[in-house]
A and B are shown apart, each in its own frame.
Chain A
């Protein structure tokens, strides 16, 4: 090992390892060990795992989770591919709309998002009431496993869109030009050159969708689908009790299977070089569209956007509506819900901004560092950082929350006398750990595309290693890092399960907690939806600003170069 030659690398490695160990591994193991305990004797056992595979309900749940995750990747790809294609291949004014609205589906505030979806697509929702009245039939959008696939695809396709677009924009134009010079055009060019070069982004996005759907709890629960793995784990832990081994057995199986799926995804990229030497002015050559092409493109894009933004359209109606019950639209409209939200809960908004931006910043720092160690260093254990960080995806928020209470309640805040577990910074760390996988995948795929030759050139010209990373590697990764920041920030802003466990004073609580509180009563539905809309707007503004900052710094850099 080359530890002696690169003390900086090992130091970085151990720092990150220590962080993951204290805030992910130890708290989770404190909870997970129950899976290996014999309830009757208290000793170590694997019999609980045997029970899992013996149970037909659990086998069925496993199959359902797998089926739903795989189908969701397919449907999400079908939504994301055309959008990514139009924005990167054509001079298309609609690109701005796609880029600014495409990630919005990720921000689905808890509970209210579900209510909005039911009111639009449910068996007696607006769409079906209209269909029934005018055409005499209804479509079970939200029923059973198909409902889960429908909602999950709409919810998570931005993972593919964002990562794939970042990848496509990074493709060196000379690659495309060489192919064209050699006589490759149209679909063939796309299939043989463009898509393969964008593979790291697609695989990053698709594997995130797969893992997220496979481990996701919220959507099956809101559709009351129980026969899947994550809901089974959650239902067992929260109803039978924290000491029931089966809940943890399922959680362990979720983690192991997620690692396995990631390993398969990494096989897809193995042995191929995706890096590109030149960084011509960003991405593929863009073609102007003919007028009729433009019409079709706009039609497709608007249709897709209408579909994927429908939950938010529903949410808007809900937040302005008075009573909405078994009807196509609310009975009346009012701004009272917003007034109530702003009167009562301004601190929720500030807290959310603070927590989500701190967590996302922490995520991209960790994500860049881990990606760099994995792809650039030769440390023997480097891949484990990647695996452990990704395993966070499969840890239910509830388990992480309980783990933090168990691990940090006895420890006091530095320079204070309150327990560490009740300090709001722990909430930020919990959010960062939960969202680290998103940032990590984005940074990883970005670094995949940066040619080592560019860094070597920097070093040969006498720049130190740190300077090379700072001046060459990170700027080249900027698109991917931004994608990571956006996904982490957007999803951290609406995270609920760990939050609910760790919030110990109302003044420290974020928006999602406020929505939860509102959605406990019939009169709270309108204000809850209004608060949900505020969350969406905050995240959208945050994302827009970070886009602007990155764009600005990119322009400044290219100006320097000239």
Chain B
């Protein structure tokens, strides 16, 4: 650090005095691979360097997927100390490859669970430091100009008024989006959950390539309503954009995590950083208006702004679904692939089918026409139809097609992902086309 030595020392003493454990000797560098935005990393970097004046923190920003790739590819000659990102699945991947080192942080006052989700890895390879849940954000100017009501629940997004106004990222693109998809599938059941997603997706304006594309689109007013993780909505609002955010009743709170990389060149500094993240001081930084993430230490909420959500008090947030991590992990790639085949890549077909159904239903409203109703019901069933059952999806042999890594040379899997996806694609394309035809037929009868 370039500050005057006396001043630095004074600061260190002042900070050290306010903590039970004074700053012990750690290495002079710390390399953190992170997917977090600058607004977040900068605050923690500054505060940590203030507390440990001899240490310089290097924040290496990579998209979560690129970060995993980077750590995997550089494992032989590792130069990074910490992996710091949102999605627990990303940490599971690194843990599975043996790229993380165990560490139990020295942090009192952190409970075991937030909502229904355990905060720390039970095996001790990574620790949660903030919670996040999915919800709905909207642009108030957009809703006012288009005279749309404010949505409250996921079901609301299926309504015909929102056709062409909703945006979301794909679960294959963003680990947190995957959690939302999986949450609804677990909360509503396999078939009901998928049907809900398809009818919501029928109202999509777009499926964005990056998860940040969703708040970006809502902030610009490109589309009015976005399905986003809470801090995107809360920090957009805090930055001055005309947007609002709410949690629907079915949502899961999931911890964002940090873990030490195996063979870290600066292990002391890495552990000190984790302890700092979980300290009162570190947890309070999360409440900064450009960050806005839910702390995992319940005590810190006392310092939060008045309307800030508190999952440790308000038990309605993130507790409706008991999230099954193992189930999610077992069908992770399969669910991503299904979403892409049925929704992302066939969005136009799906939108047309759903639009036709909405038109027919609007015409039917108030009339009794059992024949038209039967056609509409059939069209709805065709849109909702799935190429595989839940039991098939849970079959490890089938899900194995979607796992690319063969552990041993003797492992064999029958079938190729591209082959299976082609069959699904044919199935949904034909169904969407037929559903559209039936709905149009029903509309013409009214």
Contacts and interface: CB of A to CB of B under 8 A. Distances in A.
Interface of A: 39-42, 47-48, 51-52, 54-57, 115, 118-119, 122-125, 221-222, 224, 226-227, 231, 235, 238-246, 322-327, 402, 405-406, 409-410, 418-419, 421-422, 500-501, 503-506, 513, 516-525
Contact of B215 (A241, A419, A522): A522
B297 interface: no
Q: List the 3 shortest-distance A-B pairs measured between CB atoms, nearest first.
A: A326-B221, A521-B37, A239-B172
A39 B406 CA distance: 8
Interface string B152-183: 00000000000000000010110000000000
B392 interface: no
A42 B77 contact: no
Contacts of A240: 172, 333, 336-337, 402, 404, 417
B342 to A, nearest CB: 12
A310 B405 CA distance: 46
Contacts of B38: 517-518, 520-521, 524
Contacts of A525: 216, 219
Contacts of A326: 139, 141-142, 145, 220-221, 242
A402 B220 CA distance: 34
Interface in B185-221: 205-209, 212-213, 215-217, 219-221
Interface stretch (B97-105, B309-317, B360-368, B419-427): B419-427
B221 A39 contact: no
Given A118-B220, A521-B39, A323 B240 contact: yes
Given A243-B405, A409-B76, A115 B141 contact: no
Nearest to A55: B422
Interface of B: 36-40, 58-63, 65-66, 69-70, 73-74, 76-77, 79, 139, 141-142, 145, 170, 172-173, 205-209, 212-213, 215-217, 219-222, 232, 235-236, 239-243, 290, 333, 336-337, 340, 344-345, 402, 404-406, 409, 412-414, 416-419, 421-422, 425-426, 429
Nearest to B234: A522
A40 B219 CA distance: 45
B220 A119 contact: yes
Given A326-B220, A505-B60, 11 more contacts: A40-B414, A48-B416, A51-B422, A57-B421, A124-B221, A224-B207, A235-B173, A239-B172, A323-B239, A409-B74, A516-B61
Contacts of A245: 418
Contacts of A57: 345, 421-422, 425
Contacts of A524: 37-39
Contacts of B220: 115, 118-119, 122, 124, 324-326
A406 B40 CA distance: 31
A244 B73 CA distance: 16
A323 B170 CA distance: 27
Nearest to A513: B61
Contacts of B405: 241, 243
Given A122-B220, A327-B141, A500 B62 contact: yes
A42 B416 contact: no
A122 B429 CA distance: 28
B142 A124 contact: yes
Contact of B422 (A56, A221, A519, A521): A56
Contacts of B142: 124, 326
Contacts of B58: 505-506
B315 to A, nearest CB: 29
Contact of B416 (A47, A115, A122, A506): A47
Contact of B241 (A124, A227, A242, A522): A522
Question: Which of A48, A240, A503, A519 counts the most chain B CB atoms within 10 A?
Answer: A240
Contacts, number: 186
B241 A325 contact: yes
Given A240-B404, A523-B235, A224 B206 contact: yes
A54 B38 CA distance: 44
B345 A504 contact: no
A500 B65 CA distance: 12
13 contacts: A123-B205, A123-B222, A239-B172, A243-B404, A245-B418, A323-B240, A323-B242, A326-B139, A405-B73, A506-B59, A516-B61, A520-B212, A522-B239
A265 to B, nearest CB: 31
A42 B409 contact: yes
A522 B236 contact: yes
Given A327-B141, A500-B66, A519 B212 contact: yes
Nearest to A221: B209
A53 to B, nearest CB: 10
Given A52-B418, A326-B220, A239 B65 contact: yes
Nearest to B35: A520
B172 A235 contact: yes
A188 to B, nearest CB: 47
Contacts of A122: 220, 222
A322 B40 CA distance: 21
Contacts of A501: 66, 69-70
A115 B418 contact: no
B419 A406 contact: no
Contacts of A238: 65-66, 173
A423 to B, nearest CB: 12
B290 to A, nearest CB: 5
B404 A39 contact: yes
A171 to B, nearest CB: 44
B163 to A, nearest CB: 13
Given A40-B413, A409-B77, A506-B60, A244 B404 contact: yes
Contact of A124 (B222, B417, B418): B222
A516 B69 CA distance: 18
Contact of A325 (B172, B212, B219, B340): B219
A418 B74 CA distance: 12
Question: Which of A41, A55, A124, A227 counts the most chain B CB atoms within 10 A?
Answer: A124
B406 to A, nearest CB: 7
Nearest to A217: B209
A227 B70 CA distance: 28
B79 A422 contact: yes
Contacts of A118: 217, 220, 222
A374 B62 CA distance: 41
A272 B122 CA distance: 73
A55 B70 CA distance: 31
A197 B70 CA distance: 50
A231 B172 CA distance: 13
Nearest to B212: A520
Given A238-B65, A523-B290, A524-B37, A410 B222 contact: no
Contacts of B215: 522
Given A410-B77, A522-B232, A56 B219 contact: no
A226 B345 contact: yes
Question: Which of B37, B208, B242, B418 counts the most chain A CB atoms within 10 A?
Answer: B418
B418 A48 contact: yes
A402 B426 contact: no
A114 to B, nearest CB: 9
A227 B170 CA distance: 14
Contacts of A422: 74, 79
Given A55-B421, A118-B222, A243-B405, A226 B66 contact: no
Contact of B418 (A51, A226, A227, A241): A51
A323 B59 CA distance: 28
Question: Which of B242, B404, B414 counts the most chain A CB atoms within 10 A?
Answer: B404
Nearest to A51: B418
B76 A410 contact: yes
A521 B37 CA distance: 6
B71 to A, nearest CB: 11
Nearest to B215: A522
A51 B425 CA distance: 13
Nearest to B419: A51
